[in-house]
Amino acid sequence: MAAASMKKFSSLAITKCKCVVNSCWSKCPTLTHRSVSSSTFSYHSSKFICRRHFTYDNNDVALDWEDADDIADLLLEEYQHVDPLTLRFEELENMVMDTVVKKNKKKLSGRCNEGVLENIQMNWLEKYNEENS
C-alpha cells in the first residue's frame, strides 16, 4: 500500500514540477504497509525542490539570456532566501553574471535588456513562491 502511494507521489512530482526527477528507490528502505502510513507521502505534507538538470555534462554549455527558466533555477539554488522582487535590474544582472558565468562556468550569449531581466525575475519569483509556500 505504501509502495503504491510512493509511486503516485513520484508521478505527481514529475507531473507537477515538469522536470527530471531521478528515482531514489535504491536509497530508500523497503516500505511496507505496517511501517509507513500512506499519508506520509502526500504531496502537501512534503517539502522538496525539483531542480532542472541540464542535458549536457560539459561545463562550457552556453546559455542564452532568453533561457529565463534555466537561469531562474540557477539563481534559486544560489540565492534561496532572496526575494526576487526586492532586486533592481542592475543587481539582478550582476547576480546572473556572477551565478551563471563565474560560479557555474557557463557562457551567456545573446543580449540583455529590461524585458529579458523581467522575464528572469518573474520565473525566479514563481519558483521562489512555490518553494516558500
What's the CATH number where 105 sits?
1.10.10.600
pTM: 0.57
Residue 61 confidence (pLDDT): 80
Q: Please indicate whether residue 31 or residue 71 has the higher confidence score (pLDDT).
A: 71
pLDDT-based confidence at 129, cuts 50/70/90?
very high
If asked whether residues 24 and 81 sit together in one domain, one would say: no
**89 within some domain:** yes
State the residue range of the domain holding 110: 62-131
**52 within some domain:** no
Residue 60 confidence (pLDDT): 54
**101 within some domain:** yes
Query: Lowest-confidence range among 2-6, 83-87, 109-113, 129-133?
Result: 2-6
Q: Please indicate whether residue 100 or residue 26 has the higher confidence score (pLDDT).
A: 100
If asked whether residues 79 and 126 sit together in one domain, one would say: yes
Residue 15 confidence (pLDDT): 41
Q: What is the pLDDT of residues 33-75, one digit of tens each?
A: 344 444 444 444 344 444 554 544 455 588 999 999 999 999 9
Q: What is the pLDDT of residues 100-126, one digit of tens each?
A: 999 998 999 999 999 999 999 999 999
**124 within some domain:** yes
HSE on the CB side for 127, CA within 13 Å? 29
If asked whether residues 33 and 83 sit together in one domain, one would say: no
- Site of grid cell 514540477: 17
What is the Cα–Cα distance from 125 to 90, expressed in whole angstroms?
Answer: 17
If asked whether residues 36 and 75 sit together in one domain, one would say: no
Contacts of 97-100 spanning 24+ positions with Cβ under 8 A: 99/71, 99/74, 99/75, 100/63, 100/71, 100/74
pLDDT-based confidence at 133, cuts 50/70/90?
confident
* Number of compact structural domains in the chain: 2
